[in-house]
């Protein structure tokens, strides 16, 4: 009987977690932009490049993945903070939004690192 597996598949698809995979409205204009020219704009909007195509906003507490294809940002997706190397901590207290593996030399990039 195929009804039960079909229902199960439908339920799994409905509850899959695509909620994180969407661009924040303030970054939608970067899709298709030249990556080298757009990096300054990302910094002005409070995002710091933490590794490769991952950008972290300490002020908003979000991590975005911005893969590059042929020199342009292909997409902007919100991903888990851990993808940017961030630990989930309460917003209050020292170190909230501070990367786990931040070096002393890079602490200036992260205002939440005390």
Angle at 50 between CA 32 and CA 27, to 5 degrees: 30
Q: Model pTM?
A: 0.60
Predicted pLDDT of residue 22: 66
As a whole number of angstroms, the distance between CA 16 and CA 56 comes to: 24
Query: What is the biggest distance separating any 2 CA atoms in the chain, rounded to whole angstroms?
Result: 62
pLDDT digits (tens, 9 = 90+) for 9-46: 443 334 344 445 567 788 999 999 998 888 899 999 99
Q: Where are the domains of the chain?
A: 18-103
Q: Give the rounded percent of residues in the chain with a pLDDT score beyond 70.
A: 71
């Amino acid at each position: 009987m195929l009804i039960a597996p079909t229902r199960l598949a439908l339920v799994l698809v409905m509850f899959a977690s695509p909620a994180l995979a969407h661009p924040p409205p303030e970054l939608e204009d970067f899709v298709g932009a030249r990556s080298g020219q757009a990096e300054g704009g990302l910094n002005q909007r409070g995002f710091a490049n933490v590794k490769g195509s991952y950008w972290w906003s300490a002020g908003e507490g979000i991590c975005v993945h911005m893969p590059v294809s042929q020199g342009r940002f292909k997409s902007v997706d919100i991903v888990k903070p851990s993808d940017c190397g961030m630990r989930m901590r309460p917003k209050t207290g020292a170190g909230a939004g501070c990367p786990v593996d931040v070096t002393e030399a890079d602490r200036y990039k992260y205002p939440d690192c005390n």
